[in-house]
Structure 1
Amino acid sequence: MKTIALFGGSGQIGKLVLEKVLKEGYKVNALIRNPTKIDISDSNLNVIKGDVLNENDVLKTVESSDLVLSLFGHVKGSPEWLQTEGTDYIVEAMKKSDVDKIISLSGGGLPFPEKDKPKLADKMIRFIMKVAVPQILKDAILHAEVLRKSNLDWIIVRAPRLNNDKPKHNYRVGWVGVNASTKISRADVADFIVKQIESDEFKHQMPFVSE
């Protein structure tokens, strides 16, 4: 069974993903700034105390893994370029460790012009993001550029407004403005992310998952 390098495993979606992959028998190297936030005990879980902005911590997490799940994101007080710089470190560690595949989580504001066909409402949401949280949006866009230029097998999973509803398991996988709605449960996003571990259907793409 594969070993996963997990970043962001103490976040709301990250915890759900961690529970699912352990249940399915994967081994996990999880880099966590504060290990007390992980209350899961499993022989297949290796918790590494550290920071995604520390080159050595990232390398330690990736080097004995088969693929990467990058689910970390901004919280209050995060550095401005957290996602971009963290992704840079992860990509470099993957190249040093001969790890090819990375699945990254981002928001619906991140554009994928190849397939998106944003409607008026979608354009308004992006405009609001540019005004309200411009740095987070810029960081998401630059992190995507890092992955595009990496020559790795990357997937960026995007989602709209998140809630804590029970999973529906019949969510849609489309693009912004194409077969998409404006919300989804964190549980369904986690389900989709885990399904991508063994799938290359969306390699080099940014699927948009919604109800």
Structure 2
Amino acid sequence: MQTIALFGATGQTGKLVLKMALDQGYQIKALVRDTKKVDYYSNNLTIVKGDVLNYENVETTIKDCDLVVSLFGHVKNSPEWLQTNGTNHIVKAMNRFGIRKIISLSGGGLPFPEKDQPKFADKLIRAIMKIAFSKALDDAIQHSKVLKESGLDWVIIRGPRLTNEKPKESYRVGWVGVNSGTKIARADLSDFILKQVDSDEFIHQMPFVSY
């Protein structure tokens, strides 16, 4: 079973991915700033205390892993270029250790013009996001450029409004405006994230997961 370097393991989605991954038998190395926020332990879990903005911490986390799952993102008072700078550190460490694959989580506001066909409502939502969440959106766009230029096997998973409802165990995988809805439970999103660990279906793409 593969070893996953996990970033963002103490977020609402990250906690679910961590538990699911351990339940499925994966080995996990997780970088966390506050170890008290880790509420699920296993012999297959290694915790690295540190920050994604510290390159040495990132390198320690990625060493001896097979791939990266990156779920960290903006919270209150986050640095403006958190996702971009953290992703730069991750890519640098991946290249050092010869790790090829990274699965990254972002929001539906991140455009993927190669496949998206946004309708009026989608364009309106993006316009609102550009005003209300401009820093986070700019950071998400720049982080996607880092991955696109990395030469790595990347997948950026996008979702709409995330909820904490029980999983339906059924969801759609499409693109903005194409086979897409307006919400998804974090549990179902987490299921899709983990399915990409052993799948190359969406390499170099940005699938949109929703109900």
For 1:171-205, what per-residue CA distance to the aligned partner results, in whole angstroms no more than 9, with x for missing partners?
A: 00000000001111111110000000000000000
Between the aligned residues of both structures, percent identity stands at 63
The alpha-carbon deviation at position 62 of structure 1 amounts to 0.4
Q: Tell me how far apart the structure 1 counterparts of residues 26 and 135 of structure 2 sit (CA, whole Å).
A: 35
Aligned length: 211
2:201 aligns to what SS in structure 1?
coil
2:189 aligns to what SS in structure 1?
helix
Quote the residue 2:146 is aligned against: 146
Quote the residue 2:68 is aligned against: 68
Quote the residue 2:130 is aligned against: 130
Q: Tell me how far apart the structure 2 counterparts of residues 107 and 194 of structure 1 sit (CA, whole Å).
A: 17
The alpha-carbon deviation at position 119 of structure 1 amounts to 0.3
For 1:157-183, what per-residue CA distance to the aligned partner results, in whole angstroms no more than 9, with x for missing partners?
A: 000011111111110000000000111
TM-score, with structure 2 as normaliser:
0.99
Q: Tell me how far apart the structure 2 counterparts of residues 129 and 41 of structure 1 sit (CA, whole Å).
A: 36
Quote the residue 1:57 is aligned against: 57
Q: Tell me how far apart the structure 2 counterparts of residues 191 and 12 of structure 1 sit (CA, whole Å).
A: 14
Quote the residue 1:23 is aligned against: 23
Q: Tell me how far apart the structure 1 counterparts of residues 54 and 26 of structure 2 sit (CA, whole Å).
A: 25
Give the partner amino acid of 1:160. P
Q: Tell me how far apart the structure 1 counterparts of residues 169 and 148 of structure 2 sit (CA, whole Å).
A: 29
The alpha-carbon deviation at position 64 of structure 1 amounts to 1.1
The reply to whether residue 164 of structure 1 matches residue 164 of structure 2 is yes
Give the partner amino acid of 1:134. S
1:193-204 pair list within 5 angstroms: 193-204=193-204
What stretches of structure 2 of length at least 5 have no aligned partner? Answer: none
Quote the residue 1:155 is aligned against: 155
For 1:105-143, what per-residue CA distance to the aligned partner results, in whole angstroms no more than 9, with x for missing partners?
A: 000000000000000000000000011111110000000
The alpha-carbon deviation at position 39 of structure 1 amounts to 1.6
2:138 aligns to what SS in structure 1?
helix
Quote the residue 2:32 is aligned against: 32
Q: Tell me how far apart the structure 1 counterparts of residues 197 and 142 of structure 2 sit (CA, whole Å).
A: 24
Q: Tell me how far apart the structure 1 counterparts of residues 97 and 36 of structure 2 sit (CA, whole Å).
A: 28
The alpha-carbon deviation at position 30 of structure 1 amounts to 0.2
What stretches of structure 1 of length at least 5 have no aligned partner? Answer: none
Q: Tell me how far apart the structure 1 counterparts of residues 193 and 39 of structure 2 sit (CA, whole Å).
A: 21
The alpha-carbon deviation at position 40 of structure 1 amounts to 1.4
The alpha-carbon deviation at position 22 of structure 1 amounts to 0.3
1:193 aligns to what SS in structure 2?
helix
Give the partner amino acid of 1:113. P
Q: Tell me how far apart the structure 2 counterparts of residues 184 and 141 of structure 1 sit (CA, whole Å).
A: 22
For 1:24-57, what per-residue CA distance to the aligned partner results, in whole angstroms no more than 9, with x for missing partners?
A: 1110000000011002120000000000000000
Q: Tell me how far apart the structure 1 counterparts of residues 196 and 169 of structure 2 sit (CA, whole Å).
A: 15
Q: Tell me how far apart the structure 2 counterparts of residues 39 and 172 of structure 1 sit (CA, whole Å).
A: 30
Q: CA RMSD of the aligned region, Å?
A: 0.4
Quote the residue 1:79 is aligned against: 79
Quote the residue 1:5 is aligned against: 5
TM-score, with structure 1 as normaliser:
0.99
